[in-house]
Amino acid sequence: MIPATYPDQKEIARLTARMLLEIEAVHFNAEEPFILASGLPSPTYIDCRKLISFPRIRATLMDFLTITVMRNAGFEAFDNVAGGETAGIPFAALVAERMALPMTYVRKKPKGYGRNARIEGAMTEEERVLLVEDLTTDGGSKLSFVDAIRETGATCSHTAVIFYYGIFPDTLRTLGDHGVELHYLCTWWDVLEEARAQGSFSAATLDGVESFMRDPRAWQAARG
């Protein structure tokens, strides 16, 4: 069901941050940084996949994501909702259910046998596809999914995520240059603000995280 009422975007961001903190999906450690998939260090790590195990939070965030997309892009803007393998698949299914649209998913690479497909499900030429993922850092991983969708003859001009890092200055330009608009619920800045308000971490930890957020590339370069 499409939600009929919803908070403004600032309150959605605050509540999303609060929920992520509540289920301990947010991890901060400036002393012993996490190593990201890129191989670079980071004092922050977020596990949006954990959301699928919390029904009330999951439902609320999917309502928020659905209404955010429709408010920003239009209520009749899409014909299909595609999830990116693997984290985006459950969220795409939940958004598609709310929007009463077909759901598909996009593989990271062709599966290597059978039809050698990247798109699973029914996607047809000229369909307007919304790509749904759990999060985006610098936007780069979204481009491969978008290209796979476009290779079917469908269009993909919008991607929606629960969490957007919001600390890499080129992200929106990278997506925009590819003809893609990003929709999201909250960023690291929202999480940091809510974490300070709740006292979820020590002041020293939050200060270390903020130092990273203000210049992540310099922070990473200083730590190899």
- pLDDT (average), residues 183-207: 96
C-alpha 114/C-alpha 143 separation (Å) is: 25
Query: What pLDDT, in 10s, does the model give residues 150-185?
Result: 999 999 999 999 999 999 989 999 999 999 999 999
Q: What is the pLDDT of residues 28-50, one digit of tens each?
A: 998 888 987 778 889 999 999 99
Q: Is residue 2, in this structure, part of any structural domain at all?
A: no
CATH number of the domain within which 189 lies: 3.40.50.2020
* Residue corresponding to tokens 């759990």: 134
Q: If you search the block for the tokens 């270390």, which residue do you land on?
A: 208
Q: Would 3 be classed as within a structural domain?
A: no
Please report the pLDDT score of residue 93 as a whole number: 98
Confidence grade of residue 1 (pLDDT, cut at 50, 70, 90): low
84: three-class secondary structure by DSSP: strand
pLDDT at position 36: 79
Domain span at residue 218? 9-222
More confident: 92 or 40: 92
- pLDDT one-digit tens code per residue, 106-136: 999 887 665 668 999 999 999 999 999 999 9
Which is it for the CA torsion 208, 213, 219, 224, positive or negative?
positive
Strands 26-28 and 44-46: antiparallel
Considering its fold, how many domains does the chain have in total? Answer: 1
Q: Specify if 121 maps to a domain.
A: yes
* 213: in domain: yes
CB contact at 8 A, 12 and 185: yes
